[in-house]
Structures are given as C-alpha cells and as structure tokens.
Structure 1
Amino acid sequence: MFLITLLSVLVAFAAVMYFNPGLLIGSAIFTAVWLTTGLITPAMVHPVTLVILAGVLALLNVPQLRRAVLTKSAYKTISGVMPQMSQTESEALEAGTTWWDADLFQGKPDWEKFSSITMPTLTKKEQSFIDNEVEELCGMLDEWEIHHYRKDLPPEAWQFLKDKGFFSLIIPEEYGGKHFSPYAQSRIMSKIASRSITGAVTAMVPNSLGPGELLAKYGTDEQKKRWLPGLAKGTEIPCFGLTGPEVGSDAGSIPDLGIVCKGEHDGKEVLGIRLNFAKRWITLAPVATVIGLAFKLRDPDGLLGDPDTQDYGITCALIPADHEGVEIGRRHYPGAPFMNGPINGEDVFIPVDWIIGGPEMAGKGWRMLIECLGAGRGVSLPALATASGEVGYRMTGAFGKIRRQFKTEVGKFEGVQEATSQIAILGYTLEAMRHLVTKSLESGTPSVITAMAKYHATEMMRTLINHGMDVAGGRAIQLGPRNFMALPYQSVPIAITVEGANILTRSLMIFGQGSMRCHPYLFDVIQTLQTDDKKQGLKDFDRLFFALAGNSISRTMRAFVLGLSGNRLANAPEKADSFTKEWYQRIDRMSAALASSADLALGVLGGDLKRRELLSARLGDVHSQLFMACSILKYYENQPASTAEKVHARASLHQALYTAQEALFDFYDNFTVPGIAGVFKRLAFPYGRILKKPDDDQLRALGDLIMEDNPVRQKFGQFIHNSLEPSDAFGRVESTYQKLLTVEDAWGKYNKAESRGKLAGDDIDARLSSAVSQNIITQEEADNIREYDKQRYDALLTDAFEKSFFERAEVEVKDPAADANVS
C-alpha cells in the first residue's frame, strides 16, 4: 500500500510540474491527491504529516512568508553572482522582437500557430522587377571583367542601379522608393549575386544597414524630405560608418567621440557637436555622398537641456560626404572590387539637428542600429549564400555529369557524392531558411533569427563552395573567364566577416540574445536585480523567480516524459502527414531538451556563462538547427509533391536534427559539473541518441539526383540568373548540360559499347561510325553526339593566357607599400 501511495504522490507531483498550472492551482491539485491517498495509507493524513504539508504549502503560497524565508535569500545570492548589465547591453537585448524562435526556445512549440504561418510571396510589381530590371542588370555584369580589369562595376551598371531604383528597395513609396518586402529584397539580391558578387554587394548595402532604413524608421520629417527622395533616385549614395581600427564586431565600444558645444554653421552660431572619428571597412564609402555615422556623444555642459546627463552613449548622425573636415574617397581592397574604404574626421562640427531623429534621439543610436541590422543579417548576406547554394547545386551537378574519369561520370563516384550530397542538403536548407527568415521580418526585427541566418547561411556557403571546388578540381582552381567557382570562393571570407564576425555571432550572440529575448522570465528577473527600488525589486523578483522556477521544472519534466515515450507523446500539427509528423515530433522533443539544458546552464553557471563560449555556442547551435528544421518542413509542405523534393527534405531534416542532437551531447559531455549534466542527459535521452548519422543510401540518392534535371534543380533555376550563352562561365556549363540531356540515351549506349571494346577507331569520329555500322546508335544520334562532344570538351577547358597578360608596365616603385597610404 505504501508503494502505491508513494507512486501516486510522485505521479501527481510529476503531472503538476509537467502541466505547470501555477503555484496556487498546482498546490491545490497536489493537496487533493495527498489527502486522497490517506484512504489507503492513514499516515498521509496524520496530524503531524498534515502540519508539515500545510507548512510547506504556506511557505510556497503566502507571499509575505515566502519572501521572508525563501525569496530574500535567493535575491541576495543571485544578485551577488549575476554581473551588472550595462545600458548598452540592456538596449541591445531590448531591441528587436521574437517570433517562432521563442516557441522553440521555451520547449513547447505551438504547432497550430506554426501551421498558420504562410510562406512569403512576391507581388506582381516585385515579380516584374525581378523578371525585367534585375535580369537586365545581370546582363550588364561580367564578374571576370569587373574583378580583373575594371576593379569596379561598369558605368552603365552604376547608372542603371540608380535610375531603376535598386538603392530604394526599403524606402517608402511616398518618398519615391519601392518599399519591397524582405522576401523580394532577398530574391533580388540572390539573382544579382548569382551573376556578380560585386554587383550584389553594391546593391544590397543601401538596402541594409544604412541611412535609408534609419531615416525611414527614426528620421524627422525634415530629414526624410531632405534625404530620402535623393536616396531613392540614386542621386545620393549612402554609406554607414560604424566599425573602425580597434572596433569590429564589438561595435558598442566605438571610441569615436562627439562633444556637444556651440559652433558656426552657415555663418551662424548654432548648437552642435564637435566630432573626431576614424572608420574602416565602410562599404560604398569611396563613392558615397552622405554618411551615416555612429559615435559616442558627451554633453559636459548640459547644453542639450539635461544637466544630470553628460554621457549620452552611442548616437547616429547624417553628414554630407563633402562636409568640412571629412576625409573620404580612398579604397580598401577586400578581395572583391566593390567600393569599400575608410572615413576619417578631425574637428568636424555638425548641428545637433543632424542627429538622426533630432536631438531627442541623442544616445539612442545603439538600439537603432540593433533594430536595423536585421536587413543585413537576415536578408542580404543570407541572399548571397542562398545564391551560392543554388548556383553551386546546378553547376556542380552539371559538371559532375559532364566530366568523365575512368569511363564514368565523376558524379557517380561515391567519394564525390559525399561532397555533392552536402551541396544538395545545404542548398535546399538555405532556400528553405530564406523563406521562413524573411517571413519573420515582415512583422518585426527578430534579432535572434537574423543572427542565426547570418551565421549559418554564410557558414553553409563556405562549406558548399569548398565542396564545389573539390569536385571541379583543376577546372575550378585556374582563374579565368571560364571559371564558375573561383570568384565566389574568393568572396566567402567577406560574408563570413561582415555584419559581425561569425565566431562572435555563434559563440555569444545567438544563445546570449536567445536566452534573454526568448526565455519567458529571465530578462525580467535580471532587470529586477538592478532596480534602484530594492523593496519593489524584491516583490517583483519574488513573483518572477518562482514563475521561472516552476517553468524550469516543467520544461525539464516535459523533456523527460517525451524522452521516456520515445517521441510518441511529442506534439505535431494536426495537418502533418505520415512523413512530416515524425520530424515535427523530433523537433518537439529536442525543443524540450534545449529548454531544460538552457535552464541548467543558466541556473548553474549564471553570469559565468558569458565566458563559457563553447557551451553557449552549442546551445545556440541546437536552437538554430531546430529553426532550420522548421524552415525545411514549412518549405517542403509548400512545394509540389515529388520524390526528389522528399529525398532532399528528408536528408536536410536528418542533418539538421542530427547536428542539434550532437550539439546537445557535446554540451552534456563538456559541462562544468559532469554529474548534473549526466542526469539531464539521461532525462532527455533515456534510451540514448534518437538519430544516427545520415547513411550512405541518403548520400548516394542525393549524389544521383543533383546530376538530374529534377524538380528541385528546376526550382533553384527560377531564383538565379540563368545563361545558356556558350561564352559565359555559367552558360558554357549549363548549355552543355542541357545538350547532354537531349543525347543522354544515345550517349549512354555509345559509352557502354566503347567501354566493352566493341567500337573500332582511334578518335570519336571513327568510333561513332563504328557504332552506327553496328546499329548501336543511328546516324542522327551520332551527329548529335559529335556536336555534344565538341561542346563538352570546350566546357572542360581551363583558361590559358598569353605572357603579355602577366606583364606589367615598368614602374619605379621605391616602397611597394607606398600606394597603400595606411593611416
């Protein structure tokens, strides 16, 4: 009887913790079960037992008692271990919004809410712009010519960008802009990038972090009227000065300083700011006409009207590039010839009205910047990566089919398929993620999602381009106008580094912001610890802390129950089919495991977690991979059904969730308190790992599919610039591939007969005649094969230059570094 009673009490406790109905209701339910067990075990209702039970319940449910005995001690302990959050950190965390990332982090995704999310689409105007203006621009761009000869876009391309509104995609229509959706912007940048990285970077910068977006969101009416029409028309070219010689990813610590003072402007004495600054790595700076500038603002004399405030913090202002004291125009050389350079200013005086948003926005620049980083992180850079995935998929697959070694298509070798299958998985994942990320940007600026997108998209681009280089081999190494891989390969470090270095984004930002922004209570708890009103702080802390504790126990209990059930109790959308349901349930279970693991890390390590970057990065990886898996499911469900679609979706889902699982196990195995981590690992994974590494059958299936003109390949072709021009780097390979598809059956019969030694002759003409004479192929087929073989051979050739290409005019150079003009 006692065992039944004990089991009943434990089940009741577990149920209350699992469903987490709240402290008062949970206590009532638990008490009812406890009293009921007294019918079979009288000791449960013994007066002493009841007094103990009542004491515990009172301690938990009577606020005054709870605060005096429990909360005050917890408040003091946690205050001592949690680091103070700076104003900059607080503003950065408060900036932006959360979306589906919060559901995944909290351990109980609302799948019906997820089902209601619709995929982004293009308007007629957006589709027309992509089909016409973007296509025409792509026809003007030759990346080899741009990269090796011009070191810049051709003048007609610059003028076309300005005239056709490429710099106005985010500017409201009332100021002459196009105000396209994030999805449309992504599609536009991808298509340009598939033709020219230089062209894409040039077009994307005015539409990501820059004066245009800052003005549209925060500018005064006067500032908007002054600048936005010119930015929309392209008569004004913007850049934004944020990073500098000692400030890269840690942009919040910029040393550039502005002092509020009085000075002369347009012949009058006005209230203004005296600036000194040194900015580096600023895209479009060499050609910019207007500079958005971030600096730290000080007002030692209280001239802005608040005598109690001297240090206002980061502020953003708008300055004409030709303003007195501004030094601009020199270029860096980042490896791709888009415009990028330094900006310096010494003793520059500007009116306070040039602060974006006016004087009342002084000190609010960091929040403005964080909220405006979404376009660069969530749209522009992932768009470049997605284009690389789709071009890589099509070009590497085509090359693997065209190129033969040992009388076999190189794409059929399993070693090659190990690489090409990854290109297929990553290309599919990138396109899927593009849809869900840009959808999230329609209703806000989700800082965590855009950080995930920037980091993982650019890392996937690096991986798939490296694989493409391996498959194409010498054909990809030799630079020249025929090479379809080398220039994207050279551009990878740029995407990895800008908008926050990837190492920092992964190790600090994704989980750091995720834990604060996506956790239902954590950020508010920390805020209560830093309030000056300690009495009110303790009261707020009491409410939040016990809500947090109950939520944390509930998340851990949910992870255990789902693990114990082997996914069977995990949730999925009602409309999920037999294929998608199991993947939704795996995500549901891993979401619970992530939530409990995050609480473990935060509860045990507290503020020290900031320095445990390896641990926080792994939890960030789990969060990111779960989001990517959701993206894949959403994208798959909105595509026409096909075998190819399912094969790509299954392999991509498998890789995302396997990666998430391994990140969790690495987290448990390296946690600073192994015993506790071991318990949590057993709770979440009582039977061990739930997914094995993707098997060889999946790799072979994808390796075969990437060489075929399957629906996924065809869909990818709609998102990029396609060329069948034999003189074009991409067109040469694609036109050869398309020709092969028309002769494939005959080509296969010919190669089979040749490999078996049935054909006589020392060259292809003789062997084709032999094949025709034996009725292996027809004369028409032989003629088509002959034509294809010439095209095939040309497509495999690499560029070779005359000696004159490498000769330079004799120039007397005493100091090779003199031209660099380092400052």
Structure 2
Amino acid sequence: MSLVAPFLALLVIGAIAAYHRLRLAPAVALMASALVAAWLLGASPVATIVAAVLLALVAVPLLVPAVRIPLITRPLLAVYTKILPPLSETERVALEAGTVGWEGQLFSGKPDWRVLMNQPKPTLREDEQAFLDGPVEELCRMTNDWEITHTEADLPPHLWEYIKKNKFFGMIVPKEYGGLGFTALGNHKVIQKLASVSSVVSSTVGVPNSLGPAELLMHYGTQEQKDYYLPRLADGREVPCFGLTGPWAGSDATSIPDFGIVTMGDWNGARVVGVKLTFDKRYITLAPVATLIGLAFRMYDPERLLGDKEDIGITLGLVPRETPGVDIGRRHFPLNSTFQNGPVIGREVFIPLSQLIGGEAFAGKGWQMLVECLSIGRSITLPSTASGGAKMGAIVTGAYARIRKQFGLSIGRFEGVEEALARIAGNAYTISALAEAAAAAVARGELPAVPSTIAKYHCTEMGREVIKDAMDVHGGKGIILGPRNYLGRQWQASPISITVEGANIMTRTLMIFGQGAILCHPWVLKEMKAAGNADREQGLRDFDAALFGHIGFAISNAVRSFWFGLTGARFGAAPGDAYTRRFYRKLNRYSAVLALMADTSMLLLGGKLKFKESLSGRLGDVLSQLYIASAVLKRYDDEGRPQADQPLLAWSFHDSMHKIETALSAALRNFPVRPVGWLLWALVFPLGRRAEAPGDRLSHRAASLLMVPNEARDRLAVGVFTTPGEFNPAGRINSYLPKVVAAEPIERKFLKAVKNSRLRTLDYAAQLEEGVREGWITADERRQLEELREMTIDTISVDDFDAEQLRATAYRPTPEQVAAREAA
C-alpha cells in the first residue's frame, strides 16, 4: 500500500482540483502537499520520489510560459491551423450574429445557476395586458375558424378591418412611428392567445411582427425609410410579406438564384441608379394580399456603377406591389389552413437604390441582416403558436375526457387514454415554459441564435405530439370537420409549423449543435480567432491561453461526468428547494457530459463533424433538453414553486432526462471512433443508464390534473381564449367541467336507482320525471341532470352537411354539364 499511496494521492487530489476547476498552480501545490503528507504517513520514499518527478515533469513546462509557448503551444498551433475547418463567410456571419445567454452556461459543464435565477420574471407591461384583455379578447370572440377555413378561405373583411384598425400588424413598431411598441413577451402573449382560436389568424398577425419589412427597417432602415414605411405598416395601410424561399434554393439565402443588376432606370419620373430584379419566390405568407414586398436577392454591378466589385452579395430590398414587372396574386393552398400564402415572381423589376433596406450602405449585407433578425422572429411566432394550440388542446381534451363516457365511465379513467392525457399535460406545460423563455430572452435584448432554434424545433415537434394525442382521445369528434370541431384544423396545420422558418429535420441536425458547439463553447471560438489573428505573436499568446484553458476544461468535465455518473448526481451544490434540488444536480451532470462529448467530437472529427449529422443531431438533443429543463425549472420558480404543479414539472423533467440519455446512448453506440465511444461510455454511464420515462403513477397524477378544476389546470390555461361563445366550442366545453364534476354524484345515484328499479319508460326525460316522482332524485337534481345531458350533447356532437355545402364553389358543374352527365 505504501508504494501505491503517492500515486493514489496525486490521482485523488488531481481529480478534486479538476472537479472544482482550480487553476494549475494551486492544483500542483495541493498535489505536492499531498505527496509530502503521504511520505510523512509512511509511504514508500522511492514511490514518493517517482511520483514527485512525474508531477514536476508535467507541471513545470506547463507553469513556465517561456518553456510552454515555444515547446508546446507553437507546434500545436501549427497543427491546429492545418486541421481547422475553413469557415465560409456565411458561417462566420452566422456565428458572429447571435449572442450567448444561458445556453453558454449549459455548455460550460458547470452551470452558474445564479445567472438563470437572477433573470427577471417575465412580466407584461400594463398596456400589453390591456391589449390582451381588450382588442385580443374581442378579436378571438369575433373569430369563426370554420368560416375562415371552409367558407371564405380567408379572413372575412370585418376581421381584416379590425386587425388593421387596432394595429395588430404594428405590435413591434415603436410608438413614435405609430405602432404599439410591444416587447417580445407582449408579442408572444398575443400570438399565443390568437393561436388558441385560429392558426390562420395567428399566422396573419404573426408574420408582419416577425421577420419582414418592419423588423428589418427598425434595425437597418434609413431614417427616410422608417419615417415613410413604419407608420404605414403599423396601421395596415401597407400589408407586408418577405420573399426569401425559392424553388431552387429553399430558404438558403446564400444560394438563391434571384438577382439584381445595378443599372440606370426610371423611378417617379426621374432617371436614377437602381437595380433591375429578376426573381421567383414561393411559399410567401401574405403575398397574395401584400402591398409591400421585402425581397432577398444577389446583387451584381457589371458596369461598376457603385465601385470596383461586381458581385456585391446578398441584398434586401423593398418592392411596392404595383411596381411594373411584379406578378403576384395567386395562392398556394397550405393543408387547408387557408392563410394567405403564394408565389411572387418578377421580371426586370426596377427599384432605385433608395429602396434597398438601409440604402446603398447596406448593399451586400443581406445575409447578416437576415441571420440577426431570424433569431428574433424564430423565437416568437412559431413557439407562441405551438404554445397556444397545446395549452388549449390540453385543457379542452381534459374536459372532453371527463365528460365523454364509455361503459359508464369517463374515458379519461381508462389507462390507455390516461397515458395520452399525461403526454398532453406534460408537453403543454413544457411548450409553454420554453416558448416564454425564448420570448423573454429577446425581451432582455439578446439575439438568441441557439435558443431560437431550440424553441422553434421543440415547440413545434411537441405541439404536433399534443394535437396527435388530442385527436386520439377525441376519436370521431376530432375527425369530423365542421363548426363544432376545434381540433381538425390544428391537426392539418401542425406540419406547417414543422416545415416553415427552417425545416425541423435540418434545424435539428445542422443548426442546434452546429451553432452551439462553437458559439456557446467557452474556448473554441477564442481558439479559432487566435489561430486566424494576423498578428502572429499576439495570436500565439491568445491561443496559448485558450488552449490550456480548454485542456483544463476538458479534464474537469471528464472528472465531473464520471463522478456524477458514479454517484447518480446525488451530491454537489445546487439551487432550488428540497423538491427540485435533485433536478438541478442532474442538469449539472449532463452539462458536464455535453461538454465532454462536444470536446471529444470536435477534437477527433474536426471539420468532418459538420457532415456527421446524426451525431450532431443527438448532441443537439442533449443541449436542447438541458435548455428545456432549465426553462421549466425557471418557470416553476418564477411562479412561486406551487406544489400543485409538481406532477407537471416532474413529468416534463423526467421526460427530458430520458431523452438526454436516449440521445447520449445513441451517440456513444454509434460514435465514429468506436474505441473512444467505449471509453466515453465508461465515463458517462459507469453504472449504466438510469433515467426512465415518466412512470404510470406520475402519469396518472399529471393526467388527473386536466380532468378536474384545480389551480394547476387554471395556470396552464392562462393566456388562451377560454371564453364560451358561439364560435368557440372548445371554450364552451371547458366551461362545462365544474358543472359536470358537480353533477356526477347525482348521475351515479340516479343510474343506480334506474338499474335497481322496474321502469315504465325508456325515454330519458320520462325517466327523470319518474325519478322525481319516486323520490330517487329531487327536482333540483333533475335540473342538474338535464343540464348535464345538454352539456354532454354539445360536447360530443359533430356536424353534418348537405352534399352541395361541401362541394367547392369554383368547381361546381354548370347546368349544361349536369344535363350532359345525366344524358350519358
């Protein structure tokens, strides 16, 4: 034992120093002290001397810059420069466009939870809350989604007028330009509430307040452009759209074939320098009704009218609808959601340089402009839409599952249905927290490049799962379209959110980890910048600091991953209360694992990592679930840690941990360098996988919350339109729940009496009358049962139509065609 003790002392003290991330000098001092202590306690002198020599051989070169930099750092910089994957200009712009928030802490392997907890609770301003309680509530009340999606295939004129009059299109426009000047949180809350009623209305309002002319003009427009266009956009005189996606390049602005040639042309009676545009765009929301088209194109100057550069690059312009050469007006038909969407085509469309967003000074800077604004738009519209749909789906499905009975039992009491209800409840709770977290990040002034992709991808994916489960619970009620159906159009529209603003497959496999691994990592971007520094000596010094900081970081994460895996993350400093502290410790564990996996993958694969999309997607899942679980815990903390919400919190958290371990398992089992994958498995899962999906007992508790009035259910319903009304069948069904629960004991008593008695009639109304006469129930109880019958009928009823009502008017045969068919 005396021979092993010195080496064991080095190992243990070194591991403790790495765990706590001590700097090298104090760590070496501690290890040297441990060797002295081992010698004094009787360790072998020879072993102690050997251990001390080994410590000195490693520590001295690292501690002395005059030795370390020429002998170690300079050669490693030469190797690093050779293997460093070249960054294209578009990749460089994308990396520099975003800011790093809480996601950077998650990538650190040792999150500072004070950063998250010190973020202010998201709170609406008084004017934003008043707008939600007034114009938004009224717009929801006016909305007849069946009329919009089936009869009119558009918003009716009175809705268009109301939206414009109340400046729904100008929510993000500053007040000095006639807009409402809402924060990102206010924007989120409006879209969420509208989405709970109609995805067509929410998308119609959401697009002008997302990526488009207003957002771009606010950030980059000239003062003249702001003064003219922003007031017109705010009050609806101008309806905007933005043309990015085309047939040949999708949303890849760097590859678009649409072009503009700098030339002379006529504009408002004057001969000016401008751009002659040729473009072919599709999938452009609001295009058929737009009066102002934002356009992305590649700008060329073959005659060198603006300078020495021919290919100026991606540029953004503003094209009024009436400009000669613009072809707009026909519509796409997106999965029967009928929001305004269509192609925009132009041939030799001339606009002056003053119509470039930002003027001539921003020519060629379109990609940077798009990347910076996309992270804002992607954080709001689609996550908010998913949140509104999911929250409404949860509360109405819970009510339906309580009211609808089979075999004398509410269908929500069947375990198969209960499983679906638990997923609905947990996912709706998660989506709500994640969508609000993304909006809050924008409201704090961040440009959340990575969180925006996480929110977009996971909110829309979970939203699709919620509507799928809700459809399964509703059965026939969900698949029969009509004014009473509140799920069918959501079901049809769910793939739209999956597809737009970056298809989810590409978002997951290319963007989340692809951006996060470099942008959020505490050392990689510093190393890359140091390696590319034109001042070689300064670059060498910067690289030295980053490199050895990175090495210590990697060793620390390996130690932390193994220790947390060995102990089940039961120890360590963590915030929260007695209930949630264990959750934070698990996040500490997987933060360290993510950092370890990211470092190993980047070291071994280098530039090839961007082509390992399955690995990138799985590591992106880990980062995403860490961010999601953090958002859920922060939401729970902000709301005062309500005990009633614990089943929803626990379901969401355990679901995230199960997904993290599933992603890590797949990444390790398929790691491109197999021996390294085996070694990483031993560090990450020294005792095997332990995280499980939410169990049956927890799922029962979560599902039960949706089927009975309670404070957790009420909190989940905050922000959606629950007011009962003619056009809001979901709101009506939700309003029935307290009365149904109150009437159930009476119903059971009556049915038991009926079963044990000989009745002279089979008619329900007559049975009730007989029940009162025979004393089974009182007159007041009869009225409750009659009301229960009416509520149940309204809940389970579906619509039917004459055949002519379902035939598309544009394709109805003429009388002559009918006669010809009959004659044939």
**In 1, Cα distance between equivalents of 2:816 and 2:178:** 49
Matched, 1:686 2:686: yes
Superposition map of 1:135-284 within 5 A: 135-284=137-286
Matched, 1:809 2:823: no
Superposition map of 1:279-294 within 5 A: 279-294=281-296
Deviations 1:578-614 (A, max 9, x none): 1111111111111111111111211222211111111
The residue number in structure 1 matching 2:822 is none
Offset of 1:566 from its aligned partner?
2.8
Contact 1:571 1:588 in 2 (8 A): no
**In 2, Cα distance between equivalents of 1:4 and 1:466:** 61
**In 2, Cα distance between equivalents of 1:758 and 1:374:** 69
What is the DSSP-based 3-state SS (H/G/I as helix, E as strand, rest coil) of the residue aligned with 2:294?
strand
Offset of 1:514 from its aligned partner?
0.9
Offset of 1:355 from its aligned partner?
2.1
Contact 1:570 1:589 in 2 (8 A): no
Offset of 1:109 from its aligned partner?
1.0
Offset of 1:137 from its aligned partner?
1.2
Superposition map of 1:615-634 within 5 A: 615-634=615-634
Contact 2:145 2:727 in 1 (8 A): no
Matched, 1:763 2:763: yes
Contact 1:93 1:513 in 2 (8 A): yes
* Two-structure CA RMSD over aligned residues (Å): 2.5
The residue number in structure 1 matching 2:80 is 78
The residue number in structure 2 matching 1:99 is 101
Contact 2:671 2:677 in 1 (8 A): yes
**In 2, Cα distance between equivalents of 1:670 and 1:338:** 43
Contact 2:144 2:727 in 1 (8 A): no
What is the DSSP-based 3-state SS (H/G/I as helix, E as strand, rest coil) of the residue aligned with 2:506?
helix
Code of the residue aligned with 1:322 in structure 2: it is: E
Contact 1:108 1:592 in 2 (8 A): yes
What is the DSSP-based 3-state SS (H/G/I as helix, E as strand, rest coil) of the residue aligned with 1:108?
coil
Deviations 1:168-215 (A, max 9, x none): 111111111111111111111111111111111010001000111111
What is the DSSP-based 3-state SS (H/G/I as helix, E as strand, rest coil) of the residue aligned with 1:275?
strand
Matched, 1:17 2:18: yes
**Is the alpha carbon distance of 1:642 and 1:94 closer, same or farther for their aligned partners in structure 2, counting shifts above 3 Å?**
closer
**Is the alpha carbon distance of 1:368 and 1:620 closer, same or farther for their aligned partners in structure 2, counting shifts above 3 Å?**
same
**In 2, Cα distance between equivalents of 1:286 and 1:275:** 19
The residue number in structure 2 matching 1:322 is 322
**In 1, Cα distance between equivalents of 2:583 and 2:16:** 26
The residue number in structure 1 matching 2:434 is 433
Code of the residue aligned with 1:722 in structure 2: it is: T
The residue number in structure 2 matching 1:551 is 553
The residue number in structure 1 matching 2:724 is 724
**Is the alpha carbon distance of 1:716 and 1:50 closer, same or farther for their aligned partners in structure 2, counting shifts above 3 Å?**
closer
Matched pairs, number: 809
**In 2, Cα distance between equivalents of 1:803 and 1:23:** 81
**In 2, Cα distance between equivalents of 1:294 and 1:388:** 31
**Is the alpha carbon distance of 1:765 and 1:174 closer, same or farther for their aligned partners in structure 2, counting shifts above 3 Å?**
same
Deviations 1:692-715 (A, max 9, x none): 221111122222221111212222
**Is the alpha carbon distance of 1:407 and 1:55 closer, same or farther for their aligned partners in structure 2, counting shifts above 3 Å?**
closer
More divergent stretch after superposition (254-263 vs 111-120): 254-263
Contact 2:574 2:585 in 1 (8 A): yes
The residue number in structure 2 matching 1:585 is 585
Offset of 1:233 from its aligned partner?
1.4
Contact 1:753 1:759 in 2 (8 A): no
**Is the alpha carbon distance of 1:234 and 1:254 closer, same or farther for their aligned partners in structure 2, counting shifts above 3 Å?**
same
**In 2, Cα distance between equivalents of 1:38 and 1:596:** 35
Code of the residue aligned with 1:505 in structure 2: it is: T
**Is the alpha carbon distance of 1:703 and 1:752 closer, same or farther for their aligned partners in structure 2, counting shifts above 3 Å?**
farther
TM-score (norm 1): 0.93
Superposition map of 1:223-622 within 5 A: 223-305=225-307, 307=308, 309-335=309-335, 336-442=337-443, 443-530=445-532, 537-573=539-575, 576-622=576-622
More divergent stretch after superposition (167-176 vs 776-785): 776-785
Code of the residue aligned with 1:211 in structure 2: it is: P
Contact 1:167 1:203 in 2 (8 A): yes
What is the DSSP-based 3-state SS (H/G/I as helix, E as strand, rest coil) of the residue aligned with 2:318?
strand
Code of the residue aligned with 2:764 in structure 1: it is: I
**In 2, Cα distance between equivalents of 1:262 and 1:50:** 79
The residue number in structure 2 matching 1:6 is 7
Offset of 1:2 from its aligned partner?
2.1
The residue number in structure 2 matching 1:672 is 672
More divergent stretch after superposition (728-737 vs 507-516): 728-737
**In 1, Cα distance between equivalents of 2:323 and 2:623:** 46
Contact 2:6 2:51 in 1 (8 A): no
**In 1, Cα distance between equivalents of 2:756 and 2:548:** 77
**In 2, Cα distance between equivalents of 1:113 and 1:813:** 74
Contact 1:760 1:766 in 2 (8 A): no
**In 1, Cα distance between equivalents of 2:787 and 2:423:** 33
Offset of 1:685 from its aligned partner?
2.9
**In 2, Cα distance between equivalents of 1:72 and 1:13:** 26
Code of the residue aligned with 1:588 in structure 2: it is: N
The residue number in structure 2 matching 1:87 is 89
**Is the alpha carbon distance of 1:640 and 1:553 closer, same or farther for their aligned partners in structure 2, counting shifts above 3 Å?**
closer
What is the DSSP-based 3-state SS (H/G/I as helix, E as strand, rest coil) of the residue aligned with 1:333?
coil
More divergent stretch after superposition (538-547 vs 139-148): 538-547
The residue number in structure 2 matching 1:713 is 713
Offset of 1:364 from its aligned partner?
1.7
**Is the alpha carbon distance of 1:754 and 1:80 closer, same or farther for their aligned partners in structure 2, counting shifts above 3 Å?**
farther
Corresponding residue to 1:111 among 113, 126, 129: 113
**Is the alpha carbon distance of 1:51 and 1:120 closer, same or farther for their aligned partners in structure 2, counting shifts above 3 Å?**
closer
Superposition map of 1:733-752 within 5 A: 733-752=733-752
What is the DSSP-based 3-state SS (H/G/I as helix, E as strand, rest coil) of the residue aligned with 2:280?
strand
**Is the alpha carbon distance of 1:33 and 1:790 closer, same or farther for their aligned partners in structure 2, counting shifts above 3 Å?**
closer
The residue number in structure 1 matching 2:820 is none
**Is the alpha carbon distance of 1:49 and 1:762 closer, same or farther for their aligned partners in structure 2, counting shifts above 3 Å?**
closer
**Is the alpha carbon distance of 1:19 and 1:773 closer, same or farther for their aligned partners in structure 2, counting shifts above 3 Å?**
same
Deviations 1:418-445 (A, max 9, x none): 1111000011111122332222112211
Offset of 1:723 from its aligned partner?
3.2
Contact 1:726 1:735 in 2 (8 A): no
More divergent stretch after superposition (479-488 vs 687-696): 687-696
The residue number in structure 2 matching 1:819 is none
**In 2, Cα distance between equivalents of 1:438 and 1:541:** 36
Contact 2:253 2:296 in 1 (8 A): no
Deviations 1:23-50 (A, max 9, x none): 455445545555665655443675x987
More divergent stretch after superposition (196-205 vs 107-116): 107-116
Deviations 1:122-160 (A, max 9, x none): 111111100111111112211101111111101111111
Deviations 1:664-683 (A, max 9, x none): 22221221223222222222
The residue number in structure 1 matching 2:787 is 787
Offset of 1:534 from its aligned partner?
5.6
**In 2, Cα distance between equivalents of 1:366 and 1:588:** 36
**In 2, Cα distance between equivalents of 1:184 and 1:684:** 42
Contact 1:34 1:44 in 2 (8 A): no
More divergent stretch after superposition (73-82 vs 501-510): 73-82
**In 2, Cα distance between equivalents of 1:619 and 1:36:** 43
**In 1, Cα distance between equivalents of 2:54 and 2:632:** 53
**In 2, Cα distance between equivalents of 1:745 and 1:462:** 36
Contact 2:259 2:277 in 1 (8 A): yes
